[in-house]
Amino acid sequence: MKDKTEILDTFDNPNTERDYWIKHIAPEFTSLCPVTGQPDFATITLEYIPDKICVELKSYKFYLNSYRNDGIYFESVTNNILDDLVKVTEPRKMIVTAEFNVRGGISSIVKVEYSKQK
Amino acid sequence: MKDKTEILDTFDNPNTERDYWIKHIAPEFTSLCPVTGQPDFATITLEYIPDKICVELKSYKFYLNSYRNDGIYFESVTNNILDDLVKVTEPRKMIVTAEFNVRGGISSIVKVEYSKQK
Amino acid sequence: MKDKTEILDTFDNPNTERDYWIKHIAPEFTSLCPVTGQPDFATITLEYIPDKICVELKSYKFYLNSYRNDGIYFESVTNNILDDLVKVTEPRKMIVTAEFNVRGGISSIVKVEYSKQK
Amino acid sequence: MKDKTEILDTFDNPNTERDYWIKHIAPEFTSLCPVTGQPDFATITLEYIPDKICVELKSYKFYLNSYRNDGIYFESVTNNILDDLVKVTEPRKMIVTAEFNVRGGISSIVKVEYSKQK
Amino acid sequence: MKDKTEILDTFDNPNTERDYWIKHIAPEFTSLCPVTGQPDFATITLEYIPDKICVELKSYKFYLNSYRNDGIYFESVTNNILDDLVKVTEPRKMIVTAEFNVRGGISSIVKVEYSKQK
Amino acid sequence: MKDKTEILDTFDNPNTERDYWIKHIAPEFTSLCPVTGQPDFATITLEYIPDKICVELKSYKFYLNSYRNDGIYFESVTNNILDDLVKVTEPRKMIVTAEFNVRGGISSIVKVEYSKQK
Amino acid sequence: MKDKTEILDTFDNPNTERDYWIKHIAPEFTSLCPVTGQPDFATITLEYIPDKICVELKSYKFYLNSYRNDGIYFESVTNNILDDLVKVTEPRKMIVTAEFNVRGGISSIVKVEYSKQK
Amino acid sequence: MKDKTEILDTFDNPNTERDYWIKHIAPEFTSLCPVTGQPDFATITLEYIPDKICVELKSYKFYLNSYRNDGIYFESVTNNILDDLVKVTEPRKMIVTAEFNVRGGISSIVKVEYSKQK
Amino acid sequence: MKDKTEILDTFDNPNTERDYWIKHIAPEFTSLCPVTGQPDFATITLEYIPDKICVELKSYKFYLNSYRNDGIYFESVTNNILDDLVKVTEPRKMIVTAEFNVRGGISSIVKVEYSKQK
Amino acid sequence: MKDKTEILDTFDNPNTERDYWIKHIAPEFTSLCPVTGQPDFATITLEYIPDKICVELKSYKFYLNSYRNDGIYFESVTNNILDDLVKVTEPRKMIVTAEFNVRGGISSIVKVEYSKQK
């Protein structure tokens, strides 16, 4: 899977003095199961305290859309999204939660967190 | 964007001895996207512990309405509302949460806080 | 506004050894706006840890009803109810939350607390 | 109020042999009260059986947005929207329902219908 | 109980050619129980097809508020509201539904209808 | 089981000219299972078009309470309530719906109707 | 699959003069997929107008439980349940609705009806 | 009121090494008002960390049912249930929450807790 | 767009004597906007009265998945799905409802129907 | 009851440096009551911070299905599932919550936790 971070645009945090939370809820995430090739669906929730830069919303949508035809596991995709967004925005804190639709009668949630070392 | 703080009226806090919370939920906030000029919609929730003065509800409604034809980003408008209300009411604590409607399949929430230094 | 505390009846706390919570939710509170004279509506939630005495439910209903034709602000009525109930029942802890219906597109919540000094 | 029908674009109905329903739910409608100048908010639901042409979704959004700073009554705006869409799309059947937010403690719904004479 | 119809203002139906429905939902109705004097609470829903005139919303609010300190039974108040509104607006069709809050563990709904004879 | 109709009080229908619906929803009905003696619980919904008389609400509550320690089947109790209320109020139309809580993983609803012969 | 009708007990309809509805909602139905052997889950809703006899609730529970380890298709099991209950109770009308849980991202509902010929 | 603890059966905690929570939600509790004799209804929620023994579910149901015809106040019954269950099961921790249905327009919740002294 | 009907498998209707409804709700449909290339999302509900054959569920899932990377309009895709399923199963009646997610603040529903001529 | 741990497959945790939560919600668990032999139903929620390995989802489904015809108590099954999953995956933290359907008018929840000793 190629590097997707270049899809992500950013803009300057309008208020760097305050710690504050930004949250984007994206209920239209879809990728493919790496074993069966069948589509998976999830709601991806991104929450972060920006430091110097924020992620631009439209580019973030394109970033999520870029997984559409990738075969990737639940646990990997959630860690990947966090890694990419941490790399690009260097936030003070960041949480990515992925809620996957029912498969085999079971729904799954993966939640990963990052905190900048002080 | 001109100074909007003069729109805000206040009244004396009827009980300054107690720390207590006042919360105003305004689901009818609308402004314009600074890039496309298209309308944005949000629910603005204001929560605060008043110190000497409280914000008057009708003037607060007019204050929120004054953003109707302003082009302004999600992150900026939320920080602005907090800054203006802190300036006018000098509260002990204040939180502003803005929940924006879905754009490009993604809904966004910005939450900013203020605490008076003791 | 005359003293309403005499409307409130009490009974002995059946278990003074335990700290425990009693909660009464009253969704039928109504008073008048002191400016326009128009009716306001709220849900009043009373939560407390009784000490020696409890408030009797029927008299508490009559107490709330007694505001029906009083002109009084959101912040004042919530503080008043707490003051009156603290005076009459001398609880270990007490919280009054008033959730007012939408006015001018905005709904409001006022939450006040009391703790007995030990 | 100027003629808004020119904002509306159309496209050919892909299946004119069948009677079928298209429904667009727009929860972000806002106009102004003609008396007070204060903003009103509504959800506009458009339902129709197309005849030869359909209304293009993006232009319909711009059409609804064009009421943003118009002063107009609940009953009039609902009838206007139906009249404009009937004029432009000449549907077999069309229903416009406008659900207005609470004003003075009362929410209002206006529902108007059109049927092509055979 | 004095005649309340003079509280009601009206305006001309902007579209008399069409049969269409107007609905006003008022969840803040309160009157008194004629036996106990205790307050009753209800949601009053008015639905009608106007003929020549419509009821003005603010005056309708004042009309409902005028029952605040009247002692009147569930069945009577619902019939009264319909009678008064039929007298003042002479609609083509009208329905009044009153949903009363729980009393003695039982909630009650009264629904009355009127159709103009052709 | 003794005759329970004498528990029911009535009052004159305030508007005999109109056909209109009165509905009482009672979620606190309880009786006993005639086989096991264990309690059953149901919501009883009474809907009727009154003719000359209406059932008085408080006496109806006492009537329902009178089943508290009776052993009676779902189907029988629902038919009984309808029979008793038809006998006492001679309505134009009447429906009794009993929604029983889950027993053995299954919830049950019984719905009986009466129409006066013309 | 052996004949399951002998599991079903019945009792006499306490009111054969009236047409009335009995409804049993069973959210704990489970059988096996005839292809994969994996469990399927459904809510079975039985609605009927009894003629001379009613189905006894506990035996009906045992009847549904008897499918627990049977491999059977959605469409077949729903038709089977209706056939068995019609055979045993000879109702005036009967409807069986089976709502199956999500399989492969799709949930399914099968609804079958029977009316006695007059 | 006689001693009800003998109604309660117990079984050995299958895992005494772990602190873990067991919760039983009983929405079908009913007793009588000691003043009016009218029925009260509540949902009783029992939560506990068992020590050596657990309460057997069926006997707990019979225990709750035994209050059916007792006249007892909200605050007393909740404290009683906790006292009886603590006496019989000697838990590490236990919470009883009783949520009573609306009476006089007000619903009430009583919550009592117990912790074993170490 | 190539012919997709060959993806669809069928099986014999187990009960051709009865008219009965089968309903499949698929909330994970996604295709591409033919103008922007951006993904669209919808819930597709298929309801039909089978005649001689039924559609096999797994193949139906693959059929819906085959639209994943097709650029196609809301109105066209809904008509296409109906046309394909009618061609393959020749049902007595069939309805396809497509509920598309919010785009530009507006959600859309398209509903098409087919009835076999007798 | 035989050892079920061999049903469980695992895979390597893709990110062992981070503490993060994985949650699987399985609403289709069913086993048998050890006393009556009647089926019990529950939603099993598994939450854990993986250490070196994760549980594979399909094998976890088969693991849960393996209880289908076992007679086992609520408290035991919940402790068993935790024990088996701790044994196989050696997680940093793990919580199993079992929410059982209503039996005798009472629903039950059992919640057990494990933390690796450091």
Mean pLDDT of chain G: 95
Write down the pTM of the prediction. 0.92
Nearest residue to I102 via CA among A27, B59, J81: A27
Interface test with J, best of F33, F102, F103, F108 (most J CBs within 10 A): F102
Dihedral of alpha carbons F77, F78, F80, F85, sign: positive
Instruction: Give the residue on J whose Cα is nearest the Cα of A83.
Output: J15
Chain F closest-CA separation from residue J15 CA (Å): 43
pLDDT of amino acid B2: 79
Instruction: Give the residue on G whose Cα is nearest the Cα of I14.
Output: G76
Which subunits count as partners of chain A given 3+ CB pairs below 8 Å?
B, G, I, J
Q: What residues of chain C lie within 8 A of the CB of D104, using their CB? A: 38
Dist. CA F100–CA F72, nearest whole Å: 13
Instruction: Give the residue on G whose Cα is nearest the Cα of A101.
Output: G105
Inter-chain residue contact E61 with D104, CB threshold 8 Å: yes
Active site residue B54: no
CB atoms closer than 10 angstroms to residue G118: 4
pLDDT < 70 regions, chain I: 1, 118
pLDDT of amino acid C118: 67
Pick the most confident of A35-39, I22-26, J12-16.
I22-26
Q: What is the pLDDT of residues E63-115, one digit of tens each?
A: 999 999 999 998 999 999 999 999 999 999 999 999 999 998 999 999 999 99
| Domain covering E5-102: architecture | 2-Layer Sandwich (3.30)
Mean pLDDT of chain H: 95
Dist. CA H30–CA F41, nearest whole Å: 10
Hey, which bits of C4-92 come out as E strands?
Answer: 10-12, 21-32, 39-49, 53-55
- Which of A27, A38, A65 is opposite residue I39, by nearest beta carbon? A65
Query: Counting one residue from D and one from E, how many pairs have CB atoms under 8 Å apart?
Result: 54
Nearest residue to E81 via CA among E101, E66, E92: E66
Inter-chain residue contact H106 with C21, CB threshold 8 Å: no
- Do residues I114 and I86 touch, judged by C-beta distance below 8 A? yes
Q: Which CATH class is domain G5-107?
A: alpha beta
Catalytic residue among A33, A51, A70, A83: A33
Nearest residue to D46 via CA among D6, D101, D91: D91
Complex ipTM above 0.95? no
Burial F46-59 (b: 16+ CB within 10 A, else e): bbbbbeebbbebeb
Query: Counting one residue from G and one from J, how many pairs have CB atoms under 8 Å apart?
Result: 21
Q: What is the dihedral of CA J74, J79, J84, J89, to 10 degrees?
A: 130
Q: What residues of chain B lie within 8 A of the CB of A27, using their CB? A: 105
Inter-chain residue contact D68 with B39, CB threshold 8 Å: yes
pLDDT of amino acid C104: 87
Q: How confident is the model at residue C2 (pLDDT cuts 50, 70, 90)?
A: confident
DSSP summary character for residue G17: S
pLDDT of amino acid I1: 63
DSSP summary character for residue E5: G
At position F57, the amino acid (one-letter code) is L
Dihedral of alpha carbons H102, H103, H106, H109, sign: negative
Inter-chain residue contact C57 with H109, CB threshold 8 Å: no
Enzyme catalytic residues of F: 33, 40
Q: Residue C29 contacts by C-beta under 8 Å, 6 or more apart in sequence? A: C41, C42, C43, C44, C64, C67, C98
- Which of C13, C19, C61 is opposite residue H105, by nearest beta carbon? C61
Q: How confident is the model at residue D118 (pLDDT cuts 50, 70, 90)?
A: low
- Regarding chains J and H, contact by 3 or more CB pairs under 8 A is answered as yes
At position I37, the amino acid (one-letter code) is G
DSSP summary character for residue H69: T
Strands E39-49 and D106-115: unpaired
Dist. CA A91–CA A102, nearest whole Å: 32
- Which of G109, G112, G113 is opposite residue I23, by nearest beta carbon? G109
Q: What residues of chain H lie within 8 A of the CB of C19, using their CB? A: 113
Chain F closest-CA separation from residue J5 CA (Å): 31
Q: Residue G26 contacts by C-beta under 8 Å, 6 or more apart in sequence? A: F105, F106, G43, G44, G45, G46, G60, G61, G64
pLDDT of amino acid A110: 97
Q: What residues of chain E lie within 8 A of the CB of F26, using their CB? A: 105-106
Which subunits count as partners of chain B given 3+ CB pairs below 8 Å?
A, C, D, I
Chain B closest-CA separation from residue A34 CA (Å): 25
CB atoms closer than 10 angstroms to residue G1: 11
Q: What is the pLDDT of residues F34-65, one digit of tens each?
A: 989 999 999 999 999 999 999 999 999 999 99
- Which of G23, G54, G61 is opposite residue F105, by nearest beta carbon? G61
- Regarding chains J and I, contact by 3 or more CB pairs under 8 A is answered as no
Inter-chain residue contact A22 with B110, CB threshold 8 Å: yes
pLDDT of amino acid F105: 92
Burial class (CB in 10 A: 0-12, 13-18, 19+), H7: middle
Active site residue C33: yes
Interface test with B, best of I30, I36, I102, I107 (most B CBs within 10 A): I102
Q: What is the dihedral of CA I12, I16, I19, I25, to 10 degrees?
A: -10
- Do residues C22 and H110 touch, judged by C-beta distance below 8 A? yes
- Do residues D17 and D78 touch, judged by C-beta distance below 8 A? no
Catalytic residue among B9, B12, B19, B40: B40
Angle at E113 between CA D74 and CA E33, to 5 degrees: 95
- Do residues F24 and F45 touch, judged by C-beta distance below 8 A? yes
Res J118 pLDDT > 70: no
Dist. CA C64–CA C31, nearest whole Å: 9
Chain E closest-CA separation from residue F34 CA (Å): 25
**Element containing residue D28 per DSSP (H, E):** strand D21-32
CA I117 to chain centre: 20
DSSP summary character for residue G1: -
Longest pairwise C-alpha distance within chain B: 48
Inter-chain residue contact E73 with F14, CB threshold 8 Å: yes
Which subunits count as partners of chain F given 3+ CB pairs below 8 Å?
E, G, H, J
Q: How confident is the model at residue D2 (pLDDT cuts 50, 70, 90)?
A: confident
- Regarding chains H and E, contact by 3 or more CB pairs under 8 A is answered as yes
Domain boundaries, chain J: 5-115
Burial class (CB in 10 A: 0-12, 13-18, 19+), E117: exposed
Dist. CA D13–CA C67, nearest whole Å: 61
Res A1 pLDDT > 70: no
Interface test with I, best of D9, D10, D25, D55 (most I CBs within 10 A): D25
Q: What is the pLDDT of residues E27-63, one digit of tens each?
A: 999 999 998 999 999 999 999 999 999 999 999 999 9
Residue E58 Ramachandran class (φ > 0 left, ψ -120 to 50 alpha, else beta): alpha
pLDDT of amino acid J104: 87
pLDDT of amino acid D79: 95
Interface test with C, best of H35, H43, H75 (most C CBs within 10 A): H75
Catalytic residue among G3, G19, G33, G70: G33
Mean pLDDT of chain A: 95
Which two structure tokens, joined as six digits, stand for D50? 């197309």
Q: What is the pLDDT of residues C17-29, one digit of tens each?
A: 989 999 999 999 9
CA I61 to chain centre: 10
- Do residues E16 and D79 touch, judged by C-beta distance below 8 A? no
Dist. CA H107–CA H99, nearest whole Å: 8
Which two structure tokens, joined as six digits, stand for E41? 């609470």
Q: How confident is the model at residue J16 (pLDDT cuts 50, 70, 90)?
A: very high
Res E1 pLDDT > 90: no
Nearest residue to H69 via CA among F61, F77, E105, F68: F68
Burial class (CB in 10 A: 0-12, 13-18, 19+), I20: buried
Burial D28-44 (b: 16+ CB within 10 A, else e): bbbbbeeeeeebbbbeb
Dist. CA I66–CA I7, nearest whole Å: 9
Dist. CA E34–CA I66, nearest whole Å: 67
- Do residues D101 and D40 touch, judged by C-beta distance below 8 A? yes
Which subunits count as partners of chain G given 3+ CB pairs below 8 Å?
A, F, I, J
Hey, which bits of chain E come out as E strands?
Answer: 10-12, 21-32, 39-49, 53-55, 93-103, 106-115
Hunting for tokens 């096991």 — which residue is that?
Answer: F36
Chain A closest-CA separation from residue B85 CA (Å): 16
Half-sphere exposure of B112 (CA within 13 A, CB side): 24
- Whole-number percent of chain B with pLDDT over 70: 98
Dist. CA J64–CA J98, nearest whole Å: 12
Mean pLDDT to the nearest integer, B45-65: 97
Inter-chain residue contact B14 with C109, CB threshold 8 Å: no
Q: What is the pLDDT of residues C41-82, one digit of tens each?
A: 999 999 999 999 999 999 999 999 999 999 999 899 999 999
Inter-chain residue contact H65 with F28, CB threshold 8 Å: no
Chain A closest-CA separation from residue J90 CA (Å): 17
Q: What is the pLDDT of residues D27-59, one digit of tens each?
A: 999 999 998 999 999 999 999 999 999 999 999
Catalytic residue among C3, C19, C33, C54: C33
Paired with G111 in beta bridges are G97, I21
Mean pLDDT of chain J: 95
pLDDT of amino acid A58: 94
Q: How confident is the model at residue F2 (pLDDT cuts 50, 70, 90)?
A: confident
What would the CATH number be for the domain defined by B5-115?
3.30.1130.10
Q: What is the pLDDT of residues H44-74, one digit of tens each?
A: 999 999 999 999 999 999 999 999 999 999 8
Enzyme catalytic residues of I: 33, 40
Dist. CA F118–CA F93, nearest whole Å: 11
The residues on A that touch G, with CB distances below 8 Å, are 39, 41, 101-102, 104-105
**Element containing residue I65 per DSSP (H, E):** helix I57-65
Which two structure tokens, joined as six digits, stand for A31? 């990728």
pLDDT of amino acid F1: 63
Catalytic residue among D33, D51, D70, D83: D33
Res C1 pLDDT > 70: no
- Do residues J17 and J39 touch, judged by C-beta distance below 8 A? no
Q: What is the pLDDT of residues H26-44, one digit of tens each?
A: 999 999 999 899 999 999 9
